[in-house]
A and B are shown apart, each in its own frame.
Chain A
Amino acid sequence: MSTMTIAKAINEGLRATLRNDPKSFLMGEDIGSLGGVYRVTEGLKAEFGAHRVMDTPLAESGIIGTAIGMALRGHRPICEIQFDGFVFPAFNQITTQLAKIHTRSDGQLSAPVVIRIPYGGGIGSIEHHSESPEALFAHTPGLRIITPSNANDAYWMIQQAVECKDPVIFFEPKRRYWLKGEVDTENAPGDPFKAHVVREGTDATLVVYGPLVPVALAAANAAAEDGHSVEVIDLRSISPIDFDALETSVNKTGRLVVAHEAPTFGGIGGEIASRISERCFYSLEAPAIRVGGFHMPYPVARVEEHYLPDIDRMLEALDRAFAY
């Protein structure tokens, strides 16, 4: 056991991967000598050399495209996209090639590329430095999408992403990079595509992932003071979604609130609400309620606190669920 920040845990996870899997390598803009904007790859180039930790020119489409080629030939590329909004030059390669090669080749070829993307707001920056584009990728069959919310998951899930034969988008909650937690470097926490119940409760299920997990836990604590027992689920995997875990919880609690930073319109919350209404129709005491970003470009720093789901907005949604 050791205490690490999420950034350090990913760094250590990458180090373990580079050690254990000689076919693995990192590529990205300024990830080598600079160690990345958030220093997540710090020290790795010095330790493993420029062939395992490649600084690339500014060319996202080229980065992901060449990573696909490497993966087709048996390598395990781990690409860094510097910020959420910078992934779009590569969106073409990700959605039209990466996601489809396995199907298209009738399973002859696979493209186990891992794409690390820091995502989410709360860092005082605008638009493309603060976005949560996970739904855009989730809507593309063939991609797996996971996101850790704590250091232990960060350490393990990045390694599990590299081991996975499918392409994995690994979303890193950038405003939590400095959040510290205990990491058990001996025992992996199991399947990275399964949700975790991070707080048990009986009256409502609050589903979150990535940066909103600490907010949801705080909201659940506040709700407890009002006599409501809220179960908090950390989704961990956005695609596929562990609906079984959600179903079990909602059948117990009868209420569902889903929160994410991404706009609710067309978002992951809508998918969860719809599936759970089908699967838990007779257990539900209230309609599923979503909390999320608004249908607008991510706003500037001065107003972002009004955009980001906070404890109050989660509590308000829970109150609405309890009011039925």
Chain B
Amino acid sequence: MKQSRTAEADQLVEFYRRMVLIRKFELSADQMYKRAKVGGYCHLNLGEEASVVGLMDALRPTDYLFTNYRDHGYALMRGMDTGKVMAELFGKSTGVSKGRGGSMHLFDTEKRMLGGYGIVGGQIPPATGAALALTYRGAPGPDAEAVMCQMGDGTTNIGAFHESLNLAAVWSLPIVYVVINNRLGMGTTVEMAAGEPELYKRGASYRIPGVRADGGDVLAVRQAATEALDQARTERRPALLELMSYRLRGHSVVDPARYRSAADVETAQKADPVPALRAQLIADGTLTEKQAAAIETKVDGEVAAAVAFADAGPDPTPDQLFDYAYATPVPNAPTALPGERMVVLP
């Protein structure tokens, strides 16, 4: 009995470490953006750490993951290297896609991370197709593979969501659609945008079971995700999981989120899952203040090393510009910049 409580406690401590890693990675990405080390658009998981950690703990290495552009935490939890992910944000040739994908498009086929997707809803039909592919090999069962497709609340209003859920239902696909309901799509609230604001109920149109869980509770998230994934594995039935959470900051790093009321910001901050878990672990005696601080310091070191790695990496060079535009050689494809082609007079 005591034994298992300890294992559980160890597990929670490990979850805390992971949440701190995401938190610190994102805060660092924010800083690096402001120092112009990271360009373009950059969306953070701040406030969603418990959801990310719980989901990714439920997902097995053999499962497949598709996410939206708010993908850093997922990539890290999938086991992608912290330094290489940071380098990808920096756009360096040492990044996970040699700087080709950037913050919104993190890929790692080995880790079965089949991408962050910058276009809203872009991930949903492909994820559904990856689940269809699973039905062509292997039988359903407790060891079968499944697909998880993460998205935001606002994304459930786009056509691709509805087409995909219907396909998954009629074809009976092993996929779990996860909606991170942070209550905002940019500046638009769920109530403003959704005819059925209880988003988990949207599965009902397709007879897909929907579940809502507290996205700030890492164990509740893991439990809900594990059950949904089990159903996908053993019954090949899709599920819709809605995780109630909060976005702590603006939509992206450059968004000051002035449209949010002070009360809303305060609610979000009060619900912040990282300090909440820390306080809980200390209160119930699982961690001492010193131990918690030690975890945080260690993570600080990991993130600092990631930044140093990213900073040191070389930029991609212009001659790599055309690599991978096609998978096969293409006649007349540019291999050099046009300016390098000298004029031959007729």
Contact = CB atoms under 8 A, between A and B. Distances in A.
Interface of A: 29-30, 33-34, 55, 57-62, 85-86, 88-89, 123-129, 291, 294-297, 299-303, 306-307, 312-313, 316, 319-320, 323-324
B346 A300 contact: no
B104 A126 contact: yes
B39 interface: yes
A294 B338 CA distance: 9
Contacts of A123: 40
20 contacts: A55-B188, A59-B158, A61-B159, A62-B159, A89-B160, A123-B40, A126-B40, A126-B102, A128-B118, A295-B333, A295-B334, A296-B321, A296-B325, A299-B321, A300-B91, A300-B101, A300-B316, A302-B39, A302-B316, A303-B316
Nearest to A125: B40
A302 B345 contact: no
Interface string B160-182: 10000000000000000000000
B119 A313 contact: no
A129 B187 contact: no
Given A34-B186, A126-B118, A57 B194 contact: yes
A129 B315 CA distance: 21
Contact of A55 (B192, B321, B325, B343): B192
B92 interface: yes
B41 A129 contact: yes
A302 B157 contact: no
B339 A33 contact: no
Interface of B: 39-41, 91-92, 99-102, 104-105, 118-121, 154-155, 157-160, 185-188, 192-194, 259, 315-318, 320-322, 325, 333-334, 337-339, 343, 345-346
Given A33-B259, A300-B100, A58 B158 contact: yes
A202 to B, nearest CB: 22
B240 to A, nearest CB: 18
B154 A323 contact: no
A319 B192 CA distance: 56
The 3 closest A-B pairs by CB, nearest first: A125-B40, A124-B39, A296-B325
A189 B287 CA distance: 72
Contact of B346 (A295, A313, A324): A324
A312 B338 CA distance: 11
A209 B41 CA distance: 26
Contacts of A125: 39-41
Contacts of A320: 343
Contacts of B317: 303
A55 B187 CA distance: 10
A294 B155 contact: no
B316 A57 contact: no
A57 B187 CA distance: 11
Contact of A297 (B91, B325, B339): B325
Contacts of A129: 40-41, 118
Given A128-B119, A302-B99, A303-B321, A59 B188 contact: no
Contacts of B188: 29-30, 55, 57-58
A34 B188 CA distance: 9
Nearest to A58: B154
A58 B187 CA distance: 11
Among A57, A60, A123, A297: residue with most chain B CB under 10 A: A57
Contacts of B185: 29, 57-58
B325 A306 contact: no
A61 B157 CA distance: 11
Given A129-B41, A296-B322, A313-B338, A323 B343 contact: yes
